[in-house]
Amino acid sequence: MTRREPADPPASAQPALLARGTLADRGELLGGLMLAPALAYVALLAGIPFLLAIALSFSDATAGSLRFGWAGLRNYAAILSDPVFRRALWNTIVVTVGSQALVIVLATAAAQVFRASFPGKRVARFVLLLPWAVPVSLAAIAWEWIFDSTFSVINWTLKAAGLLHGWLYWLGEPTLALLAVIIVQAWRIFPFATVIVLAGLTSIPQEILEAATVDGAGFWRRLFQIELPLLLPVTSVAVLFGTVYTATDLGVVYVLTGGGPANSTHVLPTLAFQRGILGADLGQGAAIAVFLLPLLLVVAILMLRLARHTEVGVR
Amino acid sequence: MTRRTLRRLLGRATLYAAAAALTAFAGFPFYWMLVTAFKQNRDLYVGASDLRHVPWVFNQSPTLDHVRLLLHGTEFPHWILNTLLIVAVVIAVTVALAVPAGYSLARLAGRWGERLGIAIFLTYLIPPTLLFIPFSRLVSLLGLQNSWGSLILIYPTLTIPFCTWLVMGFMRSVPWDIEEQAMIDGYSRLAVILKVVPRLIVPGILSVVVFAFTLVMQEFVYALTFISSVEKMTVSLGVPIALVRGDVYHWGALMAAALVTSVPIAIVYNLFLDRFIESFTMGAVKG
Amino acid sequence: MASVEIRNLRKKFGSVWAVDGVDLTIRDGEFLVLLGPSGCGKTTLLRSIAGLERPSAGEILIGGQRVDEDVPPRHRGIAMVFQSYALYPHRTVFENIAFPLRAAHAPRRNIEEKVRWAAGVFGISAYLDRYPRQLSGGERQRVALCRALVRDPKVLLLDEPLANLDAKLRNTARDELKRFQRQIGTTTVYVTHDQIEAMGLGDRVAIMDRGKVRQLGTPQRVYEDPDDTFVATFVGQPPMNLLRLCDGAGPPGTLLGFRPEHFLPRAVLRAAEDARSFRFHVRRVEYLGSDRYLYGTLPDQCDPSPTFIAKLPATIGTPVLEGEAYEFAVPVRALCYFDSTSGLRRRG
């Protein structure tokens, strides 16, 4: 198909030889060299401990000695028959699902609010983001004070409003304590989710929404039939991160309740810490922590699918 | 008044109410920190069942006693210094490792760069609560128990994955043509990386510094696991663990510490928010 | 100065062949334009010559020497101007132009002298101390060109260098570019999707589609004598009309092509002119000042549905009404025949 024009005769005088590339021109080589240190660091100090975590869960290792004996499934048998563990597993699920449900509602609402412009928006946005930036442990200690059994400002306010007649022992009663944990986790995650949803919202082309308005769609129809479906990938990202942050978090429960009262509010990370570090039973601690793995696996797979399908996302 | 304007007003009112409610929920603990930190004890420790005493406001004049106690009577200033020291080292390690790696993934790694990038990012999802048990073994093998060395060794495993991803995303948003032009104008790849790229990548490095800073400031699990002496603690560990003396909670000083620590982090974090969000969404949002 | 020779060049991105077997010789001192729709592989071809892409197969020779295997861009003796101009934003115009000389470790006094001389040639001496952001689009383009030419490249590569200029400026910039190139006589490869630029600038034009060169020739040749239906319809505005001939009217599967400006009222042609006549049913008349475009159908053909276009210059005042049918004709010398399955030209 290509017709070649008659070529010129090759240059008769042989020109000076062009210089070849040196090592400094080899992009792949340089790329490898620049990547290797980070890769090695992560592989050595995250990859190997990760495998070690699984290995330890099958061992009778303790913190006192460096012995490492095969224990088979003994650790798993022990924790599975342990009501405290089963309670912790259940609590982890309840706290994660409960807080993320709250997060979805709060973040969707907040994104709608913060899309509009109103006086004082910059300040409001800064305040909204405070919970996400503050160190978990410091936030938890503030909440512990808010939920204090004697001085709880929540109780005072409820009583002053006439809504409460008895007394709420927030951190002293298992159900209330769990509710407190859910509130704190939702409080901590929703600002982050809001910003992500907001980013998704602003990337929906304005014309699509305007077209819907011209087509006669009201606020709710626009929200449920256009915006929320288009926001699904972004919201999923926010929820996936939120799930990981919540389910694997140790700080909130550790500071707020320490797992109490009577081990009723433990989640997997705090129980793993209690058994593995405080109790020096590394094997059992590792086995407890390993129960976080299925969750992480699911999240990782969903993340990958989202990353691959970004073209169906918001554009 | 027409129905239309009425609806408009109603919408506006709903918007303000929602904005106020959400902001109040987010900001309330910080307001509480502020009030507590400057209240006199007489004003602070009044049981919540006493409805005549309104805890939301200062009933007595504010005081600096708690702040004074925090700065002079506790290890808090030490913890700040400890934290800053650890932060500085971790930032140095992170920048040295993550910036070249992120650049490499964006520019040099070709088709497997994408996959490797995602793989590195996924390690960010491996939580400290899964790794602290094997790390405790590793730390005792290395003899780093109760030393900053353990944190300096481990914190980069938190910062490097995300920061690599951050730099990669940043470099992808920078057009290639300046670098290619320099190669055509006579530079080798290496010369481009050494002489041209540093200028281009500065904003990326800045966000790496900020992210590493906030991550280290926020970290609690590893510090709790490996640091046992009060004088070696970081802020986020010392305040909730060691400011509580026995059963006596100095709530005023505690809240002052929480406030003093979190507000600067929040301010810095806010400045770089948009870039972090871009990285978190992994391209699911294209702005 | 040097020629560039490309032999059976192929480049794969993922599962797509961006460049799919290109043979091309660019003569010494020639201005060659690569023209094609976006995604046709023209930029990839240019970047392969520059050394920014490594070809999957094939050879590239600059001045008779293989460069595709291991000669990095900086040693190929080329210069390139990007669509964005890629000026170093933190360097002054002087430093931008001096950059290639400094990179080549030219003596300091030489640099000063050469930059000032080149800036004079391009009329940008007044801006040497400014930064790129302080320049207009046209000035930036000249700085980029100046930087490209300051170290006497053997081959100059241009990637849509006029695309970022506004329409008014583009005409003068085109004229200037051609003048500079004539003056210095550097072998030039120019990528564009704009056929007016291509026709106006190129000594020869290579028309590319889906990774292949469909035709290579002078602007006049590719316009008047297209090798296939792609070239025929891509070059020319409005594009060439293609008529599927009824069976019996010619060899089976024949497409008859004629340019809109050759499709004229029969009465306008000389009576002696050997011409092919059609009944043309005019649906719509578009008045464009210098021309009239007539849109309509050929009701006597076996497929009367496709739309055909006639382009009447203002010099032809024949009244034409919408909804009426007229006798139109095309001079036989202006007819092209194509094979309808392969799209290739049938000659003879």
Q: Which domains does chain A have, with CATH numbers?
A: 29-56 (no CATH), 82-312 (1.10.3720.10)
Q: Would you place residue C317 in the very low, low, confident or very high pLDDT band (cuts 50, 70, 90)?
A: confident
The DSSP-derived string for C237-300 is SSPPEEEEPPTTSSSSSEEEEE-GGG-EEGGGS-TTS-EEEEEEEEEEEEE-SSEEEEEEE-TT
The verdict on C40 and C178 lying in the same domain is yes
**Record: contact B183-C100, CB cut-off 8 A:** no
Name chain B contacts of A130, Cβ cutoff 8 Å.
26-27, 30, 262-263, 266
**Record: contact C103-B184, CB cut-off 8 A:** no
Window B:28-87, CB contacts with A under 8 Å: 29-30, 32-33, 36, 44-49, 51, 54-56
Q: What is the mean pLDDT of residues C40-51?
A: 94
C232-272 tens-digit pLDDT: 999 998 999 999 888 776 778 889 999 999 999 999 888 88
| The last residue of a domain, from among C207, C233, C259 | C233
Look at residue C348 in the predicted model and tell me its pLDDT.
Answer: 66
On whether the CB atoms of residues C308 and C243 are closer than 8 A, the answer is: yes
Residue A261 has pLDDT above 90, yes or no: no
pTM beyond cutoff 0.90: no
Look at residue C169 in the predicted model and tell me its pLDDT.
Answer: 86
Residue A16 has pLDDT above 80, yes or no: no
Look at residue B247 in the predicted model and tell me its pLDDT.
Answer: 63
Residue predicted with more confidence, A51 or B47: A51
**Record: contact C216-A5, CB cut-off 8 A:** yes
Name chain A contacts of B18, Cβ cutoff 8 Å.
109-110, 112-113
Look at residue A9 in the predicted model and tell me its pLDDT.
Answer: 41
Residue C291 and residue C288: Cα distance in Å, rounded? 5
| B186: nearest CB among C82, C83, C103 | C103
The verdict on C249 and C212 lying in the same domain is no
The verdict on C287 and C214 lying in the same domain is no
The verdict on C248 and C301 lying in the same domain is yes
Residue given tokens 């928006």 in the structure block: A121
- ipTM confidence: 0.87
**Record: contact C204-A8, CB cut-off 8 A:** no
Q: How far is C100 from chain B (nearest CA, A)?
A: 5
**Record: contact A24-B189, CB cut-off 8 A:** yes
Size of interface A-C (CB pairs under 8 A): 56
Give the CA diameter of chain B.
80
Domain boundaries defined on chain B: 67-280
Q: What CATH number has the domain bearing residue C254?
A: 2.40.50.140
On whether the CB atoms of residues A229 and A284 are closer than 8 A, the answer is: no
Q: What CATH number has the domain bearing residue C120?
A: 3.40.50.300
Look at residue C260 in the predicted model and tell me its pLDDT.
Answer: 95
Look at residue B74 in the predicted model and tell me its pLDDT.
Answer: 85
Look at residue B2 in the predicted model and tell me its pLDDT.
Answer: 79
On whether the CB atoms of residues C281 and C328 are closer than 8 A, the answer is: no
Q: Would you place residue C223 in the very low, low, confident or very high pLDDT band (cuts 50, 70, 90)?
A: very high
The verdict on C249 and C171 lying in the same domain is no
**Rg of chain A's alpha carbons, rounded to an integer?**
28
| The last residue of a domain, from among C201, C233, C265 | C233
Look at residue B1 in the predicted model and tell me its pLDDT.
Answer: 60
Q: How far is C189 from chain B (nearest CA, A)?
A: 15
Look at residue C168 in the predicted model and tell me its pLDDT.
Answer: 84
Residue A240 has pLDDT above 50, yes or no: yes
The verdict on C328 and C287 lying in the same domain is yes
**C-alpha distances in Å from residue A262, one per residue of A86, A96, A277, C43:** 14, 21, 19, 70
Residue C31, Cβ density class (10 Å: 0-12 exposed, 13-18 middle, ≥19 buried): buried
Q: What is the mean pLDDT of residues A214-226?
A: 81
A123-155 tens-digit pLDDT: 888 888 889 888 999 999 999 989 988 888 888
Interface test with C, best of A18, A22, A28, A30 (most C CBs within 10 A): A18
Residue B51 and residue B44: Cα distance in Å, rounded? 14
| C63: nearest CB among A7, A11, A20 | A11
Most confident of A66-70, A212-216, B253-257, C278-282: C278-282
What architecture is domain B67-280? Answer: Orthogonal Bundle (1.10)
**Which letter, b or e, does each residue of C285-324 get, where b requires 16 or more Cβ atoms within 10 Å of its Cβ?**
eeeeeebbebebbbeebeeeeeebbbbbeeeeeeebeeee
Look at residue B281 in the predicted model and tell me its pLDDT.
Answer: 64
Residue C162 and residue C138: Cα distance in Å, rounded? 9
| The last residue of a domain, from among C205, C233, C261 | C233
A168-187 tens-digit pLDDT: 888 888 899 999 999 999 99
What φ, ψ does residue B272 adopt, rounded to 5°?
A: -110, 10
Residue A3 has pLDDT above 50, yes or no: no
Residue A264 has pLDDT above 50, yes or no: yes
The total domain count for chain C is 2
The verdict on C118 and C198 lying in the same domain is yes
Residue A206 has pLDDT above 70, yes or no: yes
The verdict on C217 and C252 lying in the same domain is no
Residue given tokens 């046209």 in the structure block: C138
**Record: contact C82-B183, CB cut-off 8 A:** no
The verdict on C180 and C297 lying in the same domain is no
Residue A11 has pLDDT above 70, yes or no: no
Look at residue A19 in the predicted model and tell me its pLDDT.
Answer: 80
Look at residue B248 in the predicted model and tell me its pLDDT.
Answer: 66
**Record: contact A269-B51, CB cut-off 8 A:** no
The verdict on C171 and C301 lying in the same domain is no
Look at residue B71 in the predicted model and tell me its pLDDT.
Answer: 87
Look at residue A216 in the predicted model and tell me its pLDDT.
Answer: 77
Q: Would you place residue A7 in the very low, low, confident or very high pLDDT band (cuts 50, 70, 90)?
A: very low
Average pLDDT value over all residues in chain C: 91
Which ranges of chain C does DSSP label H, i.e. alpha helix?
A: 42-50, 93-103, 108-121, 137-149, 167-184, 195-201, 219-224, 229-234
**Record: contact A20-C70, CB cut-off 8 A:** yes
Q: Which residues of chain B have pLDDT under 70?
A: 1, 245-248, 274-275, 280-287
The verdict on C56 and C144 lying in the same domain is yes
Residue A34 and residue B99: Cα distance in Å, rounded? 9
Look at residue A308 in the predicted model and tell me its pLDDT.
Answer: 66
Q: How far is B284 from chain C (nearest CA, A)?
A: 22
The verdict on C224 and C324 lying in the same domain is no
Segments forming the whole domain that contains residue C27: 4-233
Residue A2 has pLDDT above 60, yes or no: no
